[in-house]
Amino acid sequence: MARKKKLVTSEMPLANAVQEAFADAEGLRDELQEWYDNLPENFQNGDKGDQLQSAIDALESVTEPDVPEALQDIPVSFVVNQKRRKSRNDRMRDCIALLQAAGEAAANFAEENEEDEDGAVLADEIDSVISEWENVEFPGMFS
């Protein structure tokens, strides 16, 4: 029997949305690092270790953008999947969805305030992070 997704719409300030997405991605990175550190050395030097290290490096390669003061409190609405047990891929998709909503809010700010470049710059920075995060591949436990 397939489980139904529990989707809930949530809202938070743009600065908090960016911080939360990065905190969650950092948590994923820490999980992978712990997994890697606990692998026997022969696995660390094999395919599994390489897969883990690639994912860790990809998550470490991005920097959290600074949210300009004028944009910090802009409301960001997003949909949260409240499934009980989420895979790492599900959790990464949640981080990306949260950043996409933040990027859209920044882009909307830029459209409404054409003389202020902060929104457009932030939207571009967020798009760059999303592009990086979309390429993160989480290894399976047994593959």
Q: What is the per-residue DSSP string for 14-75?
A: HHHHHHHHHHHHHHHHHHHHHHHHHS-HHHHTSHHHHHHHHHHHHHHS--PPPPPGGGTT-E
Q: Give me 18's structure tokens.
A: 């960016």
Instruction: Kindly provide the b/e burial profile for residues 37-55, where b requires at least 16 CB atoms within 10 angstroms of the residue's own CB.
Output: eeeeeeeeeeebbebbebb
DSSP secondary structure letter of residue 135? T
| Tens digit of each residue's pLDDT, the chain (143 residues) | 455 567 667 889 999 999 999 999 999 999 999 999 999 998 899 999 999 999 999 999 999 999 999 999 999 998 877 776 788 998 999 999 999 999 999 999 999 998 889 999 999 999 999 999 999 999 886 65
Locate the domains of the chain by residue range: 8-134
Q: Give me 106's structure tokens.
A: 């920044």
Which residue type does 27 have?
Answer: G
CA-to-CA distance for 57 and 127, rounded, in angstroms? 19
> Which pTM value belongs to this model?
0.88
